[in-house]
Amino acid sequence: MDLYGRDFICTQDWKVEELMAALELAAQMKRDRFSDRWTSILKYKTFLMFFYNPSVRTRISFEAAATELGGHSQFMTPSAGRFKTQTKAGETIEDAAQVMARYVAGIGIRILEDKVPYYGAGDEMLLEYAKWSNAPIINMADDRFHPCQALADVMGWAEWYGEGPGRPDFEALRGKKFLLSWGSGALARSWCSVQAALLIASRLGMQVTMAHPEGYDLDPEVIQWTKQNCAANQTDFEVVHDPDSGYDGAHIVYSRNWVSAAAYQDGALQKQAEIEKAMAYTGWTANGERMSKTDNAIFTHPMPVDRGSEVTDEVASGPRSAVYDIAENRLHVQKAVMALTMGL
């Protein structure tokens, strides 16, 4: 399957067959991590990592991925260049993208909620880079989507319902119940990871339930895509507004905090107001009692985990927690995406 030169900004942009090609390659790479088959795919090639927001897993996993493919990763922040913004003159995306693409084999960009003036501005930036860059743009998390996290998530779930690490069974996920639940917490998180999880779960044939308090609706377009994905797979999508009922019969539980739909005012994320609003809701923590209502569900989370708020230690560190396996899978799915889009 020829994916060379393709951008990876949202999983919804790729066909299911294309996503499966990346996932199957990632599983092979995990099973035989340092095989000579992979170590020269990006030989002498550079992957530019453009970070507006800091990261632990994203930076380390992408740097390791480039190294293990025989390439080089280059770290850059906006302060390292003279870029045009709403408040100062500088280089346009059109100019920057076309020049960067002449130096590197691919460009990864990470821009999240507190670095944009309104919801969707980060994703718009990535699309603008994709418009002008001849090198593929990989979304390392923007304010709408986190596609690499979505692939790592679903690979981890399929490993748990398959034959273990590196041996996922994606067909085993069909018909399984995926619960995405808003979680208590004071981190004012963006929508990117949870929306990416909704899209990948619904795309691969899972029953989807979303639970959140009133006022914490997600992007209407993403919800519409989720409904369409479920309809195409003849599965159900439901939304509940209590913290308990969604756990009944669930196979995968994902509990995470996210900001309200009113998070942006006057050109900025109202972080403190969002934290105060979220802290007013109690009782939205994944715990052992709620997990006991599931069908022996696994617990999933993209990390960092807000322990004690989103989920108790009993669950996050319990025998059915997939969080570390999924964190590891960031490396493998990113290697696969980079190999497929930049490797010729």
Separation of alpha carbons 13 and 7, rounded Å: 9
- Using the CB atoms, write b or e for 76-94: b if 16+ within 10 Å: eeeeeeeeeeeeeeeeebe
Pairing of strands 237-240, 137-139: unpaired
> 11-144+328-342 falls under which CATH superfamily?
Aspartate/ornithine carbamoyltransferase (3.40.50.1370)
Closest of 281, 143, 311 to residue 216, by C-alpha: 281
Pairing assessment for the beta strands 237-240 and 252-256 based on DSSP bridges: unpaired
**Structure confidence at residue 86 (pLDDT):** 67
| Tens-binned pLDDT, residue by residue, of the chain (344 aa) | 799 999 999 999 999 999 999 999 999 999 999 999 999 999 999 999 999 998 999 999 999 999 999 999 999 998 888 886 666 777 999 999 999 999 999 999 999 999 999 999 999 999 999 999 999 999 999 999 999 999 999 999 999 999 999 999 999 999 999 999 999 988 889 999 999 999 999 999 999 999 999 999 999 999 999 999 999 999 999 999 999 999 999 999 999 999 999 999 999 999 999 999 998 898 999 999 999 999 999 999 999 999 999 999 999 999 999 999 999 999 999 999 999 999 97
pLDDT given for residue 204 in this prediction? 98
User: Is residue 57 classed as helix, strand or coil in its secondary structure?
Assistant: helix
Contact 286, 183 (CB under 8 A): yes
Looking at residue 152, its pLDDT comes to 98
Phi-psi region of 317 (alpha: psi -120 to 50; beta: other; left: phi over 0): alpha
Helices (H), the chain: 16-31, 57-68, 93-103, 121-132, 147-160, 192-203, 220-232, 271-279, 288-291, 313-316, 323-342
Exposure string for 300-313, b = 16+ CB within 10 A, e = fewer: bbbbebbeebbbbe
Residue 95 backbone dihedrals phi, psi, to 5 degrees? -70, -45
Strands 264-265 and 252-256: unpaired
Q: One fold for both 11-144+328-342 and 150-327?
A: yes
CB 178 within 8 A of CB 250: yes
∠160-289-295 over CA atoms, to 5°? 35
Q: What is the pLDDT of residue 213?
A: 96
Single pTM value for the model: 0.97
Q: CA angle 61-142-304, nearest 5°?
A: 50
What was the pLDDT predicted at 286?
98
**Contact criterion met (CB below 8 Å) for 22 and 336:** yes
Q: How far is it, in rounded angstroms, from Cα 96 to Cα 81?
A: 9
Structure tokens of 103? Answer: 């130096």
Q: Where are the domains of the chain?
A: 11-144+328-342, 150-327
Tell me which CATH homologous superfamily contains domain 150-327.
Answer: Aspartate/ornithine carbamoyltransferase (3.40.50.1370)
Report DSSP state, residue 117.
S
Backbone φ, ψ for residue 195 (5° rounding): -70, -40
